[in-house]
Chain A
């Protein structure tokens, strides 16, 4: 993508008087030398695949390690029974985030968005939003372009992989992308879109990547829930007119600086954080013995 900052996108939206998503799509068209149909169609395929992945969730599946499986189903039961405090919308977002994270761990087909470990955040908020608000597919795909544009700037300025920047780079980026997309769906201005993204990212600043036994399972699946819920609250704040006091691009730069400063034990090496707890180490030992 040719944009190196969110500010450049915001400026283009204003100068060209085109919607946020269209600025991103047209940049993709010129970058990959493809037609509008091809670019929009490619994004539609991503959204359709997310929906199929959600629908094909199998609550009986367990991951190879046995650490993951069935939580999405359990969450849904609790929501249906009225046991949850966070209401139907947030409840369904939680269900979907867990389901996608579990499907990923169980080797089902998913869309890396931006990574496989964080694949539950965007579908959880977007699919639930569409169900609750009844908007057309086209509008959802526009929101996907908004999210993808934000994610690409983050990848250009900082990183999106846990191994390079910790989990703030994975779940944090996914959450920022989803927040921007939600702000767009709620009729937010270009400024509100980027501030939603900034508030989502800064709320997860410093999040470490500490997979138990090095696997994309614990704590990754459940972090998709906080990423998704954080996206909603950040978009709501932006729509309320609340701004990030630190400009969005500077928040991304801060995420990069924090990622570099994180010790390698907290960057997907499975050597620190939850992986280094007695129980984490016990799981790791058991995994090794089974091999």
Chain B
């Protein structure tokens, strides 16, 4: 907790968890999709569902998906901006299992056809946590460059990924491993202290046994 978590963030109201956090969820989801969003199916859970409309949570999520930050003054008009950019979106209520009260599930399709399913929660003060990616468990906050590798649960993949990072002098801050069952789908989520080079991400995508690589880069793209 630093001073500017207390005085700050600069944000568009009314609620740091229902508005600022929702923008950030949308924003991180767009970065993870790594292309502009063409279609978004959005499912609101708990308090997001109950008071989301009054707090502008719906407009905030769309603003984030359009690449806006929590302080962007266009947030209240994000539906209009989305329309102008040809982004389709829909909202529904949902009852998610074991989810934080401020949670949302989003099914996204990008303009180049890439798909991403993300479940995330706004955990207070504008901070967020991504709790599921493409149906598999996850737990990261989007504050670090994050590498997410979906692979078959078989020996060697963790070593391949970590030795690549070592070779590129990328220090690992945190690392999590999940799988649905032995020999099934597995995912590793690695938060890094610096950016992973794009060619290394591409190299990972081509490895046998690797199903999907999602990379959260914090470098702003135009």
Q: Which residues of A approach B to under 8 Å, CB–CB? A: 1, 24, 28, 31-32, 42-43, 45-46, 49, 63-65, 103-117, 119, 122, 144-145, 147-149, 151-152, 155-156, 160-161, 163-164, 177, 213-217, 270, 287, 290-291
Contact = CB atoms under 8 A, between A and B. Distances in A.
Interface string B74-96: 01100000000000000000000
Contact of A43 (B7, B17, B125): B7
Nearest to B102: A163
Given A63-B14, A112-B9, A270-B50, 5 more contacts: A1-B3, A42-B4, A45-B10, A113-B6, A148-B6
Contacts of B12: 107-110
Size class of the B contact interface (CB-based, 8 Å) = 35 or more
B34 interface: no
Interface in B1-41: 1-20
Given A1-B3, A46-B7, A152-B6, A103 B13 contact: yes
Contact of B75 (A31, A107, A149, A161): A107
Contacts of A217: 14, 54
B13 A107 contact: yes
Contacts of B55: 215-216
Contacts of A215: 14, 51, 54-55
Contacts of A1: 1-3
Interface hub of B7, B12, B15, B51 (most chain A Cβ within 10 A): B7
30 contacts: A28-B2, A28-B4, A31-B2, A46-B7, A65-B54, A106-B14, A107-B13, A108-B73, A109-B10, A109-B12, A109-B13, A110-B13, A112-B20, A114-B6, A116-B11, A116-B19, A119-B13, A122-B7, A144-B7, A148-B6, A148-B7, A152-B1, A152-B2, A152-B3, A152-B5, A177-B6, A214-B47, A216-B15, A217-B14, A270-B50
A112 B11 contact: yes
B168 interface: no
A110 B11 contact: yes
B3 A111 contact: no
Contacts of A214: 47, 50-51, 54
A133 to B, nearest CB: 21
B11 A109 contact: yes
A115 B125 contact: yes
B53 interface: yes
B73 A117 contact: no
A291 B15 CA distance: 19
Contacts of B11: 109-112, 116
B6 A151 contact: yes
A49 B102 CA distance: 27
B7 A114 contact: yes
Contacts of A148: 3-4, 6-7
B7 A151 contact: yes
Contacts of B59: 107
B54 A112 contact: no
A144 B9 CA distance: 14
Contacts of B47: 214
B13 A161 contact: no
A197 to B, nearest CB: 13
Contacts of A216: 13-15, 18, 55
Contacts of B71: 109
B127 to A, nearest CB: 11
Given A31-B2, A112-B126, A64 B16 contact: no
